[in-house]
Structures are given as C-alpha cells and as structure tokens.
Structure 1
Amino acid sequence: MLTDEVENSSDTMKAIDLLRRQKLLRNVTDEVIKETSRHIRYRRFGKRDFVVHKGDAGSSLLMLMSGKLQVIALSEDGREVGLNFVEPGDYFGELSIIDGGPRSASIIATTESVVGFLPKQQAQALFYQNPAVVEALLQRLCRTIRQASNYRSMLGLSRAYARVYSVLEASIKKSAGDLLTIENLPNQQAIAIMANVSRETVSRAIRSLIDGQVVERDYRRLIVRDAETLKRLAKGEAELQLRKKVMGVDDQIVSKFK
C-alpha cells in the first residue's frame, strides 16, 4: 500500500516516486526530489484527528501522501465550518513558511491519512531556489483566491439545499470519456460542515438530486447526468423545477394505480 511504502520503505527510489506525485514537485529536477526526500518525515493520522491547529507555529510544509483532509474554522458559537478539502498530492502550510505567521486554519483527517512534514528551513530553500516551485505556488495562490470568492458566494445563499448543491458542484471533475463525476464523495458530515447545514439536510439534498436524475450514485462517487441543472441549483435557482421533476416521477407511479 502507499502508506506502507511511505512509512516503512528504505528504498530511495520509492520515496522519490511518491514525492514526484506531489503537485508542488511535478516539474522539479530529480536532484531536488532527492534532496527533499532526505529531509521529509511522515506521520499517520486517524479519522477525525487534527493534523494542524489554527494558531500553531508553522514549522513545516505539509504534503498529503494518502487519505483525505478537511480545512475547517470554528464559528463564534463553536461549530465547525468547512473551508475546503485536501486531496492526495496537495500541499498546505505554505503561508507560514513564507511569512512566518501562525497556522491560519485547522485541518482534520476525514479518513486515515499519511502526511509528509518538510522542515521550514528546507521548505524555504525549495521555494526560493526553484522557479518551477514558485510558479506552482503562484498558481495555487490564484486558485485559493478564486475558491475563497466562490465560498463567500456559497455562504451568501439563503437556502440550505443550495449550499449543499454548491459544495457538490465545486467538486465535479472530468473523468475518462468526458464523464463528469464527483469522486470519493465526502461523508455527509464533512459536506454538512462545508455547507453549514445539518447532516440530514445533506442526505435529503443528495436524494433529491438522485430522484431528479441530476446525479447517479456509483458506489463512492456520483456521476453527474445533468451538469447544467446542478450548476443552476448551486446558484439558488431551479429548485422548483427539480421538485416538480421529482414529483412528476411519483405522479407517474401513482397514475398506474388509478
């Protein structure tokens, strides 16, 4: 398994291959990868374990090798509010490496995960001595700004269902054959934290999408059959049309018994 390779293997080539999969390191030289592998250390986290606490000193750059994490903040009344998910290959903690400030958010594991920790001194050398890494950081900054803007727009939606739809719509990826999917669907509690709703609301919202033939469940993923409708729902539109579509299916069933 990937986690066993990371934690137990002394084979340098395996470590290099694992690091090459990291988004931050895709375009650097083998020598940079080897230097990074000499300093990085790995740690396993169980589900719901805190990987990072907001306000902690930023002593390392972190890279997710396997599993899934969620960036969270606490509201004034102590509730968790999800900001975004961290997938394998993603890195985080770069802000503290650059400006020396404390961690800006907390991060928890939503599944069993393995995280690599690169000490601050080596992370700074990686940043400042490699143009390919600087380019990756700038691209990441642009994505972060866009995501923050979209997240503010999502929280501005008054309808709870619309916020759930917005979280799902933002997770769409194009798979083989141009199939639109939501891979590795987060559990309902994680989506509820992101959308600032109850877990029951998430369950009902996803069920309405399935009943309305907007998405189709395929084990741990959703196949998006009507991306345009989901996009409109994520904007707070088309809920009435979806409700009518779902009720229309029920009407057809009922009509058979008349």
Structure 2
Amino acid sequence: MAETENASLASIELLSDLPAKALEDLSKRCSWRTFQINEQVIDRQSDSCDLCFIVKGRARVVNYSLSGREVTFDDREGGAYFGELAALDGEPRSANVVALEETVVASLSQEGFHDLLHNYPQVAVRILRNLAKIVRISTDRIMDLSTFGANNRVHAELLRLAKPGMKDDNTAEISPIPIHGDIASRVSTTRETVARVFSDLTREGILQRDRDALVILDVEALTDIVETVRGESD
C-alpha cells in the first residue's frame, strides 16, 4: 500500500519537487479514504483541520444558503488539494466539499501540514501563491455580482472557465462541458438564464458545443463583451 500511496502523492502538484523519501514518509502520515459520487468529503463548520490531497477523482467546493440554494466556489481535480485554511489557522471549515465522482483523498493532519511547511519552504510559497490567486478571483466575482447583470455574469464566468484552454487562434475549449446548473450556482442566477445566454452566444458565432467540449470560437469577442461592461475597453 505504501508504494501505491507514494506514487499517488507524486501526482500532487503541490508536492511535485519533494524527494521520493519525503513523499514516502508523507504517505505514511496520511489517512486514505475513497468517497463515492455525491458523498460529502468535508462538512462546513466541522472542527477537522486536515489538509486533503485529491489523489484521484474530482470534488466540488460548495456552500448552501439558508433557503438551500447551492453556491459553487470551485471544482478540484485529481492532483489538487483543499482544506488549507483550517489547516493554517485551526478555525472551522469555511465550505463543504462533495465528491463529483469516485474520489480518493489522502488527509494530512494539521501537525503534519505544519511540519511540511517548515521542512519544505517551497511548498509554503506555493500555498501562498494559490491563496493569492483565490483572493484575486474572489475579488473579481464580488465586483461582478455587484456591478453585472445576470447575462454578463455568465459571460464573465465563461471567460474564466475558458482561460486554461485558450489557443493561439483566438479560440478556447472548456472540457468537460459545464452543466447549466453548475454555472448558475457560481454566478447566482438561474439555469434558464444560462441556457438563454448560451443560445445567444451560439447565434452570434461566439460559442459552439462539440461532443466533448464547449468551444469559444472568438475569445476576443467574448472578452470585449465582458470588458465593455466593466468599463475596461478602449
């Protein structure tokens, strides 16, 4: 089992340059569990302070309003991690995490996490950079919620989702294809609004749905739509 765990932790981006012996030792300090689809991995307000590595699968960071409305913050793929806030400050969890498919998670105790940061400062730097990225994204989303109408919030979210799949020919691919309800929960609108925006963008030649991906055919045009509303265009 240790050999399998070591190989699995080697796929975690945060730990990418740790020596093999360090990964082996870290594997032994982790508790390992497989979660099934829709199973809760972390409960908001729980007193758990573990840092969690997604060895395999996919999970969603999400909260629910008092009325039960789902608000999605992010989806995490295999090789990612979550739970760093509680692991850093010992406060209750700030969000729920739910498995989107069969997901293998290796959990490192708060003490083990602090040892990791102390022994490998480059890991601490990566944690800080990721937290800075989260703050920037959150700031943009707060501004969008405060200043954009529902249609434009969908435009902005599509642009965010497209960034990792951008190509040199002014196109981008979003894969897997996002579900309307997922985008709606990210930008505080309805599935019907998302469907209407997708239809409008398709008619305008900006968006196309392929078998395995949502294709942005004109990234510049979508960017112009978003930046014009933000007042950032020339």
Judge same fold: TM > 0.5, yes or no: yes
Q: TM-score range by the shorter chain?
A: 0.7 to 0.9
Alignment of 1:219-234 (within 5 A): 219-234=211-226
Closer/same/farther in 2, CA of residues 162 and 20 from structure 1, 3 Å limit: same
Kindly provide the amino acid, as one letter, of the partner of residue 98 in structure 2.
Answer: I
Contact 1:110/1:190, CA 8 A, preserved across alignment: no
Alignment partner, residue 82 of structure 1: 72
Alignment partner, residue 206 of structure 1: 198
Gaps of 5+ in 1: 1-9, 239-258
The answer on 1:102 being equivalent to 2:92 is: yes
CA deviation after TM superposition for structure 1 residue 187, in Å: 2.0
Contact 2:2/2:27, CA 8 A, preserved across alignment: no
- Give the distance between the partners of 1:166 and 1:111, measured in 2 at CA: 27
Alignment partner, residue 62 of structure 1: 52
Alignment of 1:227-246 (within 5 A): 227-235=219-227, 237=229
Kindly provide the amino acid, as one letter, of the partner of residue 16 in structure 1.
Answer: N
- Give the distance between the partners of 1:225 and 1:41, measured in 2 at CA: 44
- Give the distance between the partners of 1:88 and 1:61, measured in 2 at CA: 15
Within the candidate set 153, 164, 189, 2:154 is matched to 164
How does the TM-score come out when normalised to structure 1? 0.79
Kindly provide the amino acid, as one letter, of the partner of residue 125 in structure 1.
Answer: D
Alignment of 1:120-139 (within 5 A): 120-139=110-129
- Give the distance between the partners of 1:233 and 1:137, measured in 2 at CA: 33
The answer on 1:174 being equivalent to 2:165 is: yes
CA deviation after TM superposition for structure 1 residue 15, in Å: 2.7
Kindly provide the amino acid, as one letter, of the partner of residue 190 in structure 2.
Answer: S
CA deviation after TM superposition for structure 1 residue 135, in Å: 1.3
Contact 2:2/2:28, CA 8 A, preserved across alignment: no
CA deviation after TM superposition for structure 1 residue 210, in Å: 2.4
Within the candidate set 4, 7, 22, 1:17 is matched to 7
Contact 2:207/2:214, CA 8 A, preserved across alignment: yes
- Give the distance between the partners of 1:125 and 1:145, measured in 2 at CA: 25
Contact 1:55/1:104, CA 8 A, preserved across alignment: yes
Alignment partner, residue 102 of structure 2: 112
- Compute the RMSD of aligned alpha carbons: 2.3
- Give the distance between the partners of 2:210 and 2:158, measured in 1 at CA: 15
Alignment partner, residue 250 of structure 1: none
- Give the distance between the partners of 2:99 and 2:161, measured in 1 at CA: 18
- Give the distance between the partners of 2:179 and 2:30, measured in 1 at CA: 30
Within the candidate set 34, 37, 42, 1:44 is matched to 34
Gaps of 5+ in 2: none
CA deviation after TM superposition for structure 1 residue 156, in Å: 1.9
CA deviation after TM superposition for structure 1 residue 176, in Å: 7.1
Within the candidate set 123, 131, 140, 1:150 is matched to 140
For this pair of structures, how many residues does the alignment match? 228
Superimposed CA distance per residue, residues 59-78 of structure 1 (whole angstroms, 9 cap, x where no aligned partner): 31111223322222233433
Closer/same/farther in 2, CA of residues 153 and 111 from structure 1, 3 Å limit: farther
Alignment partner, residue 92 of structure 1: 82
Secondary structure of 2:157's counterpart equals: helix
Secondary structure of 1:55's counterpart equals: coil
- Give the distance between the partners of 2:15 and 2:31, measured in 1 at CA: 16
Within the candidate set 178, 189, 196, 2:181 is matched to 189
How does the TM-score come out when normalised to structure 2? 0.86
Closer/same/farther in 2, CA of residues 11 and 63 from structure 1, 3 Å limit: closer
Contact 2:9/2:27, CA 8 A, preserved across alignment: yes
CA deviation after TM superposition for structure 1 residue 188, in Å: 2.0
Secondary structure of 1:97's counterpart equals: helix
CA deviation after TM superposition for structure 1 residue 223, in Å: 2.0
Alignment partner, residue 244 of structure 1: none
Instruction: Tell which structure's C-alpha radius of gyration is larger.
Output: 1
CA deviation after TM superposition for structure 1 residue 106, in Å: 1.5
